[in-house]
Each structure stands twice: as structure tokens, then as C-alpha cells.
Amino acid sequence: MTLEALYSPDWASRPTPEAVVLLLHGYGSNERDLPGIAPYLGVDAPWASVRAPLDMGYGAAAWFPLEGDTSRWLDPAPIEAATAALWEWVDEHVSPTAKLITVGFSQGGMMASQLLRTRPERIADTVILSGFVLAEPQPADAHLAEALPPVFWGRGTADAVVPEPLVTAASAWLEAHTTLTEKVYPGLAHSVHDQELADVKAHLARS
């Protein structure tokens, strides 16, 4: 898989930054979806917004298929293939000394958690917006249960996209493997609003 990306204006002028913000869009969106939130994160770092590998047509893309019942959303094979492709992109385009601050929405939140669960030594912080996690054990899970790295997980009470069983499973995994900042927003649908971005900024400022 060859992934494409959009970059912040200062990307080329900062080839060896201490940190890089990685923006990971949701199912059916594309790399143009999340750059608008970058100024609200309060992070002095270049960013890249990566396009998911599965072309859905009409400008839409996905990290992995979402077909059938909820259990098929968590088929590990396509998720792990997308994770490997994303790491290949990172290895090619990001300085090996730079830490990643991953910010993922929905399916992109799953991908943010996958990067943490496979190569946690590269991750400075993880932000999951309206996202979920893979049930299948991943290579770094035992390490994470001891290290308890910081993670922000925000979601709305009116989110009708992510099924409740996936929310319950994500809550259990994140509580056991991370130092979790969890925010639940009354009335918020499958989306992001100003208060959530303010909470993300506060979380990243503490990390």
C-alpha cells in the first residue's frame, strides 16, 4: 500500500522535529478532513494528515472495511495490514528521532491505538476521537499495561455510529493499558466540537 498525505506549511523546513502530529481521518473521509483542527491542539510541531489506503471512490477512503455485523469491524487481518502500511509511511517520511502525537477520528482513532499497540516507543501521546480499539491482542499490550502511556479518549452520548459493545470494550482496554483521560459529551453525535478540542489541548499540554 502506498499512502498519500497532506502536510503543514512548515513540514519541509523542520526535517528533524522533536515531535510530529499525525492526523488520521475516519471511514469514508480523506486526508483533508482533520487539518482544520491542528491549530486548536496547542502543539508546536509540524503535522501530516495521511490518507487511508482503501479507495472508496468519490474522494472517500477507509483504513479497513466496515461490512456486516460489528464483529466483522474487528477482523484483525485488514487492520493489521493497514497498521503495517501506516508504519511504512512513517518510516519513509518522518525523522526516526521524532515522536508521534497521533490524533485519530473514528476509524482513525482505531489506527492511532494500533500505532501505540505496535511501536509504543515512537508515540508521545494518543488522541482517540469517537473511536474504538481492536479486541485482538497486539505486540506491545503487555508493555503498555506496565508503562500506562497517556491517552485521550472523547466521545458523545448521541454517537449512533460506534456500537455500544465497541465502546464498552474500548473502555476496558484503555483503562487497563493507559493513563486515560476520558471525556463523554452529552448530546454530541459522531463528531467533534469546541469543548472537546479544548479538552484535547489541555491533555496534550500536560503530557
pLDDT in tens, 43-83: 999 999 999 999 999 999 999 988 665 655 678 999 999 99
Residue 201 has what pLDDT? 98
Q: pLDDT, tens digit, for every residue of 154-178?
A: 999 999 999 999 999 999 999 999 9
| Residue whose cell numbers read 492526523 | 23
Cell numbers for 89? 509511511
Residue 41 has what pLDDT? 97
Domains of the chain: 17-206 (3.40.50.1820)
Residue 193 has what pLDDT? 97
Q: pLDDT, tens digit, for every residue of 85-142?
A: 999 999 999 999 999 999 999 999 999 999 999 999 999 999 999 999 998 999 999 9
Residue type, 55: D
**Alpha carbons 105 and 126: distance in angstroms, whole number:** 11
Residue 2 has what pLDDT? 74
Count how many Cα atoms sit within 13 Å of the Cα of residue 193 in the half-sphere of its side chain. Answer: 13
The mean pLDDT of 12-22, rounded to a whole number, is 95
Mean of per-residue pLDDT scores for the chain? 94
Residue 190 has what pLDDT? 97
**Alpha carbons 114 and 74: distance in angstroms, whole number:** 12
pTM of the model: 0.96
The mean pLDDT of 6-26, rounded to a whole number, is 96
Q: Tell me: pLDDT of 207 over 90.
A: no
**Alpha carbons 43 and 47: distance in angstroms, whole number:** 10
Q: Which residues of 135-160 are buried (b: 16+ CB within 10 A; e: fewer)?
A: eeebebbeebeeeebbbbbbbbeebe
Residue 74 has what pLDDT? 78
Q: Is 66 exposed, middle or buried (CB count within 10 Å of its CB: 0-12, 13-18, 19+)? A: middle
Q: How far is CA 68 from the centre of its chain?
A: 23
Residue 184 has what pLDDT? 98
Q: Tell me: pLDDT of 199 over 80.
A: yes
Q: How far is CA 157 from the centre of its chain?
A: 20
Please, which pLDDT band fits residue 1 given cuts at 50, 70 and 90? low
Q: Tell me: pLDDT of 31 over 60.
A: yes
